[in-house]
């Protein structure tokens, strides 16, 4: 089958009114990726060499989105919604290019398994003209039933048209199918609209092909894989299923998740073996965690790279561009953005490091801030190897703290500090003996007077 070409036609023209959203339904995200992009990834994993997206509602927005996750995909607009067969024929130009296999998929089934698609393609390779993907829901009510005889699929019967015996069939239509490329347009063009809604139904090609003596079969996908999304409750359900799958994959790959159900991954999260993830950790898009790292509870990581044996959190936030090198530490209530924390450096407590480099072995004290933004532009702070920045210091960028430099606690540093120099940037302390007691007595007298006046 590896030599067979394949076009995936993905139907994504639905308005998704039940989502109650101005955003096209298929652009709502699962694990940080539009659900239609998950469908594209499954198609590509099943060997699709061409992609045709049939769009409608929000066409311009859809085209912009598609460029990000499927730049080579062709888009076709279904101007009028006249049924699923009509939607597939909107991509007539792509289908006519002569692919061996045509996969018809739906943009709102983000959990579809590539293996289920490959199984349907395999049936085409074995000579079938049509392979319909079915599934077995816990309750088949409302689904079209797959009617089989002698190992062949003879019809897809909508529930309202089923006999009592057919209603007991648990094998249902998932909507997706594979069609032989040399038969696809001819079969689709034979679909009529002589029905109550006057629409052209893709499912009709089963009986059309069967009447011609062509081989029509059904393959089976899991219920979860075939799950379609129509509202936000189902979107949340699909998110939960995706997360459960991904957590299991991570643990089987050697990652320790202490409370798996509280850890959330993005579609592209990379996490190495022997990493330990404590409860309530969120991985946003673009995160790479190397082996042996430890991510403590309640940390939020997005667009960041964490090297081997780093220690992050608890309650740490790594924003896009954060780059932690081997054995670096970013501790509790710290935020790092667009900054490199080099090997063995420590950013332990209540600190913001943005647009900066913290050199190897440097230590950043609690409450330190790199003041990187003046309201118009961002500026860089460079902290050298082995430097020590005392607690509650403000480093006003652009500024450099040299190798081995030492910044006294409570300093505001506006000028660069040479290697091995000691810098103070704070007002001189003045102590007035007895004035503390005098001040307390004055404040107490004023408070008493205010209380008497209120009475």
Residues with catalytic function: 349
In order of 171, 364, 447, 454, the CA distances from 440 in angstroms are 82, 36, 11, 21
**Residues 6 or more apart in contact with residue 315 via CB below 8 angstroms:** 296, 297, 298, 299, 332, 333
Tokens of 149: 């005889």
Dump strand ranges (E) for 19-144.
29-30, 33-34, 50-55, 74-77, 101-106, 130-135
Number of Cβ within a 10 Å radius of residue 35 = 26
- Give SS3 for 427: coil
Instruction: Say how many residues make up the chain.
Output: 455
Q: How far apart are CA 254 and CA 274, in angstroms?
A: 6
Q: Give the residue carrying structure tokens 């293996």.
A: 115
Tell me, rounded to whole angstroms, the distance of Cα 96 from its chain centroid. 34
Distance CA 14, CA 53 (A): 12
Reduce the secondary structure of 193-232 to three states and give it as a string.
CCCCCCCCCCCHHHHHHHHCCCCEEEEECCCCCCCCCCCH
Answer yes or no: are the C-beta atoms of 137 and 172 closer than 8 Å.
yes
35-45 helix and 114-125 helix, angle to the nearest 10 degrees: 40
- Residue 76 and residue 149 in contact, taking contact as beta carbons nearer than 8 Å: no
């Amino acid at each position: 089958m590896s030599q067979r070409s394949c076009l995936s036609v993905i139907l994504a023209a639905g308005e998704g009114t039940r989502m109650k959203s101005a955003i096209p339904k298929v652009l709502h995200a699962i694990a940080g990726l539009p659900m239609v992009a998950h469908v594209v990834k499954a198609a590509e994993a099943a060997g699709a060499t061409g992609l045709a997206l049939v769009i409608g509602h929000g066409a311009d927005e859809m085209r912009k989105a598609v460029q990000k996750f499927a730049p080579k995909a062709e888009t076709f607009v279904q101007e009028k919604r006249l049924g699923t067969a009509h939607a597939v024929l909107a991509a007539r130009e792509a289908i006519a290019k002569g692919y061996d296999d045509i996969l018809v998929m739906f943009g709102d089934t983000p959990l579809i398994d590539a293996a289920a698609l490959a199984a349907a393609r395999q049936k085409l390779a074995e000579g079938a003209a049509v392979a319909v993907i079915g599934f077995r829901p816990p309750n088949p009510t409302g689904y079209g039933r797959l009617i089989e005889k002698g190992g062949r699929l003879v019809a897809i019967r909508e529930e309202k048209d089923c006999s009592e015996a057919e209603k007991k069939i648990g094998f249902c239509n998932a909507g997706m199918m594979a069609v032989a490329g040399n038969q696809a347009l001819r079969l689709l063009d034979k679909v009529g609209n002589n029905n109550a809604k006057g629409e052209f139904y893709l499912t009709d090609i089963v009986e059309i092909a069967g009447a011609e003596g062509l081989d029509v079969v059904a393959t089976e996908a899991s219920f979860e894989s075939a799950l379609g999304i129509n509202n936000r409750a189902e979107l949340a359900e699909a998110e939960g299923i995706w997360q459960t799958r991904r957590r299991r994959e991570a643990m089987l790959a050697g990652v320790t998740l202490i409370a798996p159900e509280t850890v959330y991954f993005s579609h592209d999260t990379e996490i190495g073996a022997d990493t330990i993830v404590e409860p309530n950790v969120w991985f946003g898009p673009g995160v790479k965690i190397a082996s042996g790292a430890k991510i403590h509870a309640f940390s939020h990581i997005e667009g960041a790279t964490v090297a081997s044996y780093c220690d992050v959190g608890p309650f740490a936030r790594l924003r896009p561009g954060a780059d932690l090198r081997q054995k670096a530490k970013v501790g509790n209530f710290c935020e790092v953005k667009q900054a490199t924390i080099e090997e063995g450096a420590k950013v332990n407590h209540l600190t913001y490091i943005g647009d900066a480099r913290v050199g190897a072995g440097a230590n950043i004290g609690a409450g330190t801030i790199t003041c990187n933004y003046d309201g118009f532009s961002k500026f860089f702070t460079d902290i050298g190897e082995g430097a020590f920045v005392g607690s509650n210091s403000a480093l006003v960028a652009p500024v450099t703290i040299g190798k081995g430099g030492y910044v006294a606690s409570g300093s505001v540093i506006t000028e660069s500090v040479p290697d091995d120099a000691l810098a103070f940037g704070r007002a001189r302390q003045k102590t007035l003996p007895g004035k503390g007691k005098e001040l307390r007595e004055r404040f107490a007298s004023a408070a008493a007077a205010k209380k008497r006046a209120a009475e």
